[in-house]
Structure 1
């Protein structure tokens, strides 16, 4: 399932970037949301909580923030960046997110970063650097 998800995600990014060259990032993500509605709506109904009264206002506001800013607005800029910078080039930048995530978690949240996490992150960075070197 993970392998299938990786392939489908990559295809979705690549196709979204190609489409955003002609449609624009906001239209691509909007259409993606519309086309996914027949799958997501029934799943939402199936997994809904017993009572919405138990969900706090803060939880609703957080959901709205994540849904609108982190996902919708974020994908507009992501697809625009993929279209302008090239799918393969900009797509590799996403592989550096673990480095930034670990750095922020350790710095801002005082999280413990294990040696294993660092080794994997350095491995990913070396892979990205290797693809840049050998692609020329």
Structure 2
């Protein structure tokens, strides 16, 4: 982890909030151009490259980060913007000094491991008990459905 990311995370951790955070809280979204945002999206970009063999840039529809967890919903496209691909949503975790994709749901209807299943986020909570549920979206649109 670079120094700027460490400073951002320690600053975020030291802020006092009056009441519980909601997923819609903008303070959980790393700003455009921030090192934290780049690190999370680079991890997702590397996963897409590994799985699909393509280079992408992301139009970010939703990104929330808290306590070493991140949820994102992106619209990937080719670097020149000529090709657009299916939406990608993912759960990422910061571990061993790097962000990693731990869950990337499919978009296939009827598959229990897909995002459109009603209990998808409940199953993620059971699978990853330490997940910061505040990163999860409040609406289906933000989730990537």
**TM-score, normalized by the shorter chain, greater than 0.5:** no
TM-score using structure 2 length: 0.28
Normalized per residue, which structure has more helix?
A: 1
TM-score using structure 1 length: 0.29
Larger radius of gyration: 1
Normalized per residue, which structure has more strand?
A: 2
